[in-house]
Amino acid sequence: MSHHTSNEQLLKERAEQVPQGPFNTVPAFAARAKGAEIWDVDGKRYIDFAGGIGVVNVGHCNDRVVAAVRDQAERFLHTCFHIVMYEPYVELARRLNGLTPGRFPKKTIFVNSGAEAVENAVKVARYHTKRPAVIVFEGGFHGRTLLAMTMTSKVKPYKFGFGPFAPEVYRMPYAYCYRCTFGLTYPDCGLHCAHYLENFFIDHVAAEQTAALVVEPVLGEGGFVAPPPGYFNVLADICKKYGIVFVADEVQTGICRTGKLFAMEHYGVEPDLVTIAKSLAGGLPLAALTGRAEMMEASHVGGLGGTYGGNPVACRAGLAVLDFIAETDLCARAARIGDLVRERFLQFQERFPLIGDVRGLGAMMALELVVDRRTKKPAGAAAKALVKYGYENGLVLLSCGKFGNVIRTLMPLVIADDQLEEGLQIIEKGLAQLTIQ
C-alpha cells in the first residue's frame, strides 16, 4: 500500500472501486489520528467532533488501548470463544455486569456491532417471554441488519428499497418535545407520550403479545433528543406491569458520552437488557448485550453467539477503555464538556436565528437548525452547508435528525479545552457565514 497517495487520487479510486451506498461525510482519507485530532493524507489537520460516530470517547489511539491491543496481538488473535475460551471475554463480561444500571444479577454476551447487539436483545426477550412483538420509536435508529433496520425509523436512506421488513415490529412516538407529536408542552403534558403506551396496546399490539420495548435513552441518529425527567420511568413501569422486557439501546449514549457511564443512570431507570457498542472498545469492533441473568440464561446452549463475537483483541481493548475511564474520571470530563458546549451553543442561539433548539445530555449536544423559529421549518441544507464549512476549515462535524437539520457533537472526551474552543469557533464562523447568505 502506498503511503504517498493524495486525497484526489484516492477519491477517484474510491469512486471506481467502492459503491456509493457506504456514505462519506468528509471527502478526505485519514493518515493518522491521536486524541481529538485527525490528519489526512495531504497533511491537513482536523479537530474531530465526530469520533468516528461516537466510537472514540477515550480518544483516537488511546495509549492504554493501543498497548492492550499490541500485547494481545502477540499472544493470540482468535480462537473463537465457542471453541477455546479466553479470560478477557469473561473479565469484560464481569465488569459490564457490575457497571450497567441495576443491582441485580446480570450476564453478558459479546457480538460485533450495535445492530447485532440489538438483534440479540430481541432474541433473548422473545425466548424469555415466549412472545413475538417488539415496540420501538419514531426517530429510533438500531442498525442496518434486517431486524435492526426494520426497528429503525427513518425510511430514507435506511430502509427505502430494502424491504420486505421483519414482522412484529410496532412503532410509537418518542418524547421529542421541540416537535411534540401530540402538540403538547412539558410539563403540562403530564408525560402523555409515555402514558400513551397503554393506548398503544389497544390500537396497535396487545401487551401480552409484546416481548420487548427497545428505546434509546437519547435519540442518536434521530436528532439527539433527550426526553424529559420521568419519561423512561413511566415506560419502564408499564413494561414491568405487563411483563415486557425493557431494553435500553445505549449503543450511542453509553460509555460516558452523556456524563454517566450509561445514560439511563440520569433517569434512575434500571433496564432489563442494555445494548452497548461504539466506544466500548475504543475503536475496535465490539458490542455487548448485558442484562438480567434469568433472561440472558433462558436461551438453550448454542442459541447465541457468532464466530467473531468478543474477539480477544477487542475484549482487551474494552478492558483498557474501562480502566482509562475509571482512572481519569472520564464521565466528569464529559459532563464538563457538555456544560462548555451548551453555554457556547446558547450564545450562538442568541446570535443566529437559524438555531431553533439547543439540546442534549452531557457531551451529547446538538443544534437544531430551522428556516424560521415560528414555523420550525427544518433547515437541512444549512446543516449540510455547516458540515461542509467544518471540514473545509478543519473540523469534522456530523449532522443527524429526521430532517437532517441537526448538528451533533460526538468529540472524543479527551479533547483539550483549547481544541474544543477551536472547534466551536469554526462552528460559530460557519453559522455567521450561513446567516449572511
- Interacting residue ranges for ligand PLP, rule: CB under 6 A: 53, 113-115, 118, 141-143, 216, 220-221, 249, 251-252, 277
* Rounded CA separation 121/110 (Å): 11
* Rounded CA separation 291/124 (Å): 10
**Minimum distance between the CB of residue 242 and ligand PLP, rounded to whole angstroms?**
24
**Minimum distance between the CB of residue 123 and ligand PLP, rounded to whole angstroms?**
15
Which lies closer to ligand PLP via its Cβ, residue 135 or residue 355?
Answer: 135
Which lies closer to ligand PLP via its Cβ, residue 26 or residue 251?
Answer: 251
**DSSP sequence for 331-368:** HHHHHHHHHHHHHHHHHHHHH-TTEEEEEEETTEEEEE
- In degrees rounded to 5, what are phi and psi of residue 53? 60, 60
**Minimum distance between the CB of residue 160 and ligand PLP, rounded to whole angstroms?**
18
**Minimum distance between the CB of residue 251 and ligand PLP, rounded to whole angstroms?**
4
* Rounded CA separation 364/334 (Å): 9
**Minimum distance between the CB of residue 322 and ligand PLP, rounded to whole angstroms?**
19
**DSSP sequence for 73-119:** HHH-S---TTTS--HHHHHHHHHHHHHSS-SS-EEEEEESSHHHHHH
Which lies closer to ligand PLP via its Cβ, residue 35 or residue 220?
Answer: 220
Cis ω for the linkage preceding 378 (within 30 of 0): no
**Minimum distance between the CB of residue 352 and ligand PLP, rounded to whole angstroms?**
28
- Report the candidate in 141, 310, 320 with the shortest Cα–Cα distance to residue 221: 141
Torsion angle in degrees (nearest 10) through CA of 181, 183, 188, 191: -10
Which lies closer to ligand PLP via its Cβ, residue 404 or residue 430?
Answer: 404
Q: How far is CA 215 from CA 126, 127, 183, 199, 401, in A?
A: 16, 19, 22, 18, 16
**Minimum distance between the CB of residue 143 and ligand PLP, rounded to whole angstroms?**
4
At CA 216, angle to CA 170 and CA 114, rounded to 5?
Answer: 95
**Minimum distance between the CB of residue 399 and ligand PLP, rounded to whole angstroms?**
13
DSSP 8-state secondary structure symbol assigned to residue 179: G
**Minimum distance between the CB of residue 305 and ligand PLP, rounded to whole angstroms?**
17
> Which residue in the block uniquely carries the three cell numbers 438480567?
292
Amino acid at 57: N
Which lies closer to ligand PLP via its Cβ, residue 41 or residue 317?
Answer: 317
Which lies closer to ligand PLP via its Cβ, residue 72 or residue 113?
Answer: 113
Which lies closer to ligand PLP via its Cβ, residue 223 or residue 430?
Answer: 223
Q: Which residue is nearest to ligand PLP (CB)?
A: 114
Q: How many helices (H) and strands (E) does the chain have?
A: 14, 16
Which lies closer to ligand PLP via its Cβ, residue 221 or residue 357?
Answer: 221
**DSSP sequence for 249-264:** E-TTTTTTTTSSSSTH
**DSSP sequence for 134-169:** EEEETT----SSHHHHHH----TTTTTT--SPPSSE
**Minimum distance between the CB of residue 190 and ligand PLP, rounded to whole angstroms?**
27
Which lies closer to ligand PLP via its Cβ, residue 50 or residue 193?
Answer: 50
**Minimum distance between the CB of residue 114 and ligand PLP, rounded to whole angstroms?**
2
* Rounded CA separation 63/104 (Å): 34
Which lies closer to ligand PLP via its Cβ, residue 53 or residue 256?
Answer: 53
Count of C-beta atoms within a 10 Å radius of residue 267: 23
Here the cell at position 332 is 466528569
Which lies closer to ligand PLP via its Cβ, residue 37 or residue 249?
Answer: 249
